Amino acid sequence: MKKIKNINEPLPVLPLRATAVFPNTVTSLLIGRKRTIEAIEYSSMGNRTLFLVTQKDPATEEPTSSDLFRVGTVGRILQIIRMPDNTLKVLIESVNRARVLRYNTHKNFTTALVESYKFAEKKDKSRIQALSRKVGELYKKYLSISNIPEELIGHINLDDPSRLCDIVSAQIGIDFKTKQYLLESKNLVEHSERLIQVLAREVNILELKVEIDSRVQDMMDNSQREFILRQQLEAIRNELGDEFVSSENELRELEQKIDEGNYPENVKNTLHKELKKLLRIPSTSPEAGVVRNYVDLLLELPWNEVSEDQQDVLVAEKILDEDHHGLEEIKKRIVEHIALMILSKVSRGPILCLVGPPGVGKTSVARSVARALNREFVRASLGGLHDEAEIRGHRKTYIGAMPGKIIQGIKKAGTMNPLFLLDEIDKIGLDYRGDPAAALMEVLDPDQNFSFTDNNVELPFDLSNVMFITTANTIDGIPFPLMDRMEILQISGYTEPEKTIIGRDYIMPKIMEKSGLSKYKINIVDGALKKIIIEYTRESGVRELERKLNQIVRKIALEITKSKTKTRVFNVSSAKIEKYLGVPYYLDSPIPKKLLPGESLGLAWTPYGGNILRVEVLLYPGKGKSHFTGSLGDVMKESIEASLSLVRTRSKEIGFDPTILSKNDIHVHFPEGAIPKDGPSAGIAIFTALASALSKQSLPNDLAMTGEITLTGRILPIGGLSEKLLAAKRFGIKRVIIPKLNENKLVEIKEDIIKGIEIIPVSYIDEVLNIALPQRKTTKTDKKKVSMGKSAYITGQTVS
């Protein structure tokens, strides 16, 4: 040992926990204790030298001189970095060993008077050289067994045994007491021999570990492997904390739910497969979210959950009558289905399509049917749908992928046999993203929907027990292959007596309940309801009627609030209607009191119900040209052309000079020009208006007509007869001419609609002339010709 010098000036002490620092090394230390920080700062203001010594017990927070070893190293501060948490990161170069002569404890930190020394190398150089080579050999072996690159020893100078021993002592993974044992060596030979012993022991331990690992690996079977993996997993779990534990427990709960749940075998297999995949995927991976969402979806679908249908026909009839007035055809069809279920024990539901104008109760009928059958009710609106994926779902690989409306509805219902309402099926669109109507064909086909496959679910789902009801305003917008899979049920509009009953017995109780006015009673007399229906609403349904009744209830609520009256009963008579609703909207009928020559009344069907179609014909001097106005479609223009041609062949029957047609222009106009009009059913109305203008004879204003004509004068059938007759009823028409070929449809129309209307079926245009223009100038043969085969329907009875 070679003494360098005594350091007369005490050095600040830096106590080390669970480590020892050797000379010839550079060490980075994180300093957090207050006294140690004071020592560092004091040293940095001077010659930046301090004394590094290991404390005997690492757990001691404020070590005294008795808690510190007597041998350490003198170091020089190279760099100080102050961390955000007010700790210091210090880079220190250790220079020499030093022995403590005396510790001094001060208020802010501890100092030590030390004696610095180095190992003398003059004696036993051969022995030292041999020992250093042995150290290098064992260190290389240590690095190779530890899987540490041997390049780490490349910078060590084997010709400097003291430096070699210090660096190796600092780098090997041993406890701090053993390092302190090496640091306290009295000379280089002792240090080398101690280091060789330590290295030999460490190498031997590592070799035994490798041997044991190899032997255990060879002998390990599946159970032993699983045990070790679980032990490692437990260690990982402890390191990661509660979040990992909760995730692991959640997966176990999912697995238990799969095993205990009532799922088909193929669904269970898929779920187990996806859970295994989820275990392998890191929770931070985007794919983990996709897999987890897919598992949740499969678990939430009601694969084998079926609600029990209500199978009492009388109870079903009672529920349907409670919810709706009229609609006998719909009610009869539902009751028939219930009867069939009772007898056959098969719950496969029919696919019904309710077609009718807005406000007639198509959606509410579906809700009522669900209540009558004791089934869950689900509604999906198809209006404006353009994307096929809205029906079949998106593939789960896409970001934000979701199942289609069908699977979403089934999931919401929680059973495999809900009543599923597909609203506005006639308003489905079509674009580059596919045809939703084509996707619906599989859904609505009883021979295919038992294995409907949603792109997001990727497993067949049985829809055969679902009762599908669709709604539409018109069948024109429904593709024929799709319409062929449904049973069409027409819902025509309501008559005034029906609206009165609905307003009194159904709408008003519902409004009172929703308004929270159950303590009060508002009686709207039948006369007042009729006034509202006739003068404030003009519709096939009752939606506008409900708005007006709501308005009356709000006005009365305002009166109650302002006057603070204690009256609980309010009677609304016809005289009070204008007070609540203002000036009537529809005082004047669209039908003139007296028709002029050239005017006739047709009947039109619209998606919102029937309506009166006025036709006007004007003759004025010209060259025999014809003009058509009123926002007409191609079919209606062709119907006008056919009527003009037919009029030319019937000049004698009508009673006009044929030369008039060549000397005058004819203008055919349909009022309300902003409303598009099309279709062939106005043929006889157009022909009669032309005949009226040419014969200068006026038609009666209580006669309306509908029917398509041919160039030979035959009358062809039309559609929407019920809606057209209802419009005639609403506008006070007394007689209606219809095609003979539509006569069989009269039995399907409610008696309230045709009551008080004389319905006249015709087959030829000559019969129409005889009815509409009986005063025209014709020959006797002509009169005889048109008088044949006339018959009329009055209140549903045939008269001759």
H runs (alpha helix) in 159-221: 161-171, 176-183, 188-219
CA proximity to 688, closest of 598, 757, 796: 598
Q: In angstroms, what CA-CA distances link 720 with 332, 539, 595?
A: 21, 16, 25
User: Cα(118)–Cα(169) distance, rounded to whole angstroms?
Assistant: 16
132 catalytic per annotation: no
- 372/351 Cα distance (integer angstroms): 16
As a whole number of angstroms, the distance between CA 747 and CA 282 comes to 70
C-beta of residue 183 within 8 angstroms of C-beta of residue 44? no
How many other C-beta atoms can be found within 10 angstroms of the C-beta atom of residue 461?
22
CA distance 759 to 756: 9
Residue 672, sorted as left (phi over 0), alpha (psi -120 to 50) or beta, turns out to be: left
Q: Is the four-CA dihedral 568, 571, 576, 580 of positive or negative sign?
A: positive
**In contact, 236 and 244? CB cutoff 8 Å:** yes
- What one-character-per-residue DSSP string does 105-127 give? E-SS-EEEEEEEEE---SS-HHH
What are 735's strand-pairing partners? 703, 758
Helix, strand or coil for residue 635? helix
Q: Are 684 and 644 in contact (CB under 8 A)?
A: no
Kindly list the distances between the CA atom of residue 248 and the CA atoms of 235, 272, 275, 279, in Å, as whole numbers in the listed order: 13, 15, 11, 9
From 373, 358, 317, select the one nearest 607 (Cα to Cα). Answer: 358
C-alpha–C-alpha distance, residues 6 and 100, integer Å: 10
Residue type present at position 667: H
- Other CB atoms within 10 Å distance of the CB of residue 462: 16
> Tokens at residue 155, please?
């910078």
Q: What is the DSSP letter of 503?
A: I
Q: What value, to the nearest 5°, has the Cα angle with vertex 17 and ends 24 and 81?
A: 65
One of 331, 724, 740, 750 is an active-site residue; which one? 724
**What are the tokens at 774?**
């009986």
In the set 600, 681, 695, 722, the catalytic residue is 681
Q: Is 414 exposed, middle or buried (0-12, 13-18, 19+ CB in 10 A)?
A: middle
Residue 12 — φ and ψ, nearest 5°? -60, 140
Backbone angles phi and psi of 386, in degrees to 5: -125, -20
Q: Would you call 381 a catalytic residue per the annotation?
A: no
Catalytic amino acids? 681, 724
